[in-house]
Amino acid sequence: MSSSKASRIGEEIWKTRIDKVNAELVTLTYGTIVAQLCQDYDSDYQEVNKQLDKMGYNIGMRLIEDFLAKSGVGRCANFRETADMIAKVGFKIFLNVAPTVTNWTSDNNQFSLIFDDNPLADFVELPDDGRAQDELWFSNILCGVLRGALEMVQMQIEAHFVSDVLRGDDTTEMRVSLVRYIEDEMPPEEE
C-alpha cells in the first residue's frame, strides 16, 4: 500500500468515523500529567521519560484494537508499509497530525517520524532548571504508544525521540527501529 493511499484512508476515517474532542482539553490534560510526574519524581526527568513511555505502552496495547476496528486495514506487507500506516493513519485518526516518514536505514528497519505539528506540546515551555532542556522528552508517551500497539501486532520495536522543538531543536523527531517480528503467536510448524 502506498503512502498516498494510507493518507487517503487516514483522511477518510478522520472525517467520518472519529469522535472529536476539544484539542486544548487533550493538551492541558497531557501537560498536567507530565507536570505532575515531574513533581512526583522530584524532577528526575529520566524517570519521568520512563513513566511516560510505560503509560503510553499501556495505552498502545488497547488503542491498537480501536485502530484496527476503525480502519479495517489488513496486515502490512513490510516495515515501510507499517511506517506509513502509523504516520498517515494512526497519528491522523488519533491526533489529527501526519508526521513525515523519513531517514530510512538501508536495511529498511529504522525510520524517523518528523512532527511539524504536535498537539501535545502546544503552550508548553520546559522548566528552566538547566536540566529539563537536556533530559525531559515531553511527548515521550507517544514512543510507548507505538511500542505497545506494534507489540500487539507481532512487532517488537524501539522508539525514542532524538530532537524536540521544545528543547530548541529545529525539528521534533522520533526514531523508530524494528527489533524483530514476534513469531511465538504461531504454534511451531511441523514440517
Partner 1 sequence: MPSSTRTVFSLIIINKAGGLIYQREYQAGLRSLSTNDYLVLAGTFHGYDPPHNQCPLDISTSLDGIPIANEYLRHSVHAITRSITPKLPLAQTSPALTSPSGNAPVGFSYPNPGVPASGLEHLETEKFRLTCFQTLTGTKFLLFTDPMTGNVDTIMNKIYELYADYVMKNPFYQLEMPVRCEAFDRHLGAWLRGRT
Contact footprint for partner 1 (CB under 8 A): 61-66, 68-70, 72, 74-81, 102, 104, 106-109, 152-155, 178, 181-183, 185-187, 189
Closest alpha carbon to 151 in 78, 26, 40, 65: 65
Quote the least distance from Cβ 71 to partner 1, whole Å.
11
Closest alpha carbon to 163 in 124, 118, 119, 114: 114
Between CA 148 and CA 181 the distance in angstroms is 14
Q: Which helix (H) or strand (E) holds 63?
A: helix 45-71
Cell of 169: 531543536
154: three-class secondary structure by DSSP: coil
Quote the least distance from Cβ 178 to partner 1, whole Å.
6
Q: Which is nearer to partner 1, 21 or 186 (CB)?
A: 186
Given strand 172-181, what is the order of strands in its sheet? 100-102, 110-115, 172-181, 155-163
Between CA 151 and CA 181 the distance in angstroms is 9
Q: Which is nearer to partner 1, 23 or 179 (CB)?
A: 179
Quote the least distance from Cβ 182 to partner 1, whole Å.
7
Q: Which is nearer to partner 1, 36 or 102 (CB)?
A: 102
Q: Which is nearer to partner 1, 101 or 166 (CB)?
A: 101
Quote the least distance from Cβ 184 to partner 1, whole Å.
10
Quote the least distance from Cβ 173 to partner 1, whole Å.
17
Q: Provide the 10 A C-beta neighbour count for residue 7.
A: 16
Q: Which is nearer to partner 1, 27 or 110 (CB)?
A: 110
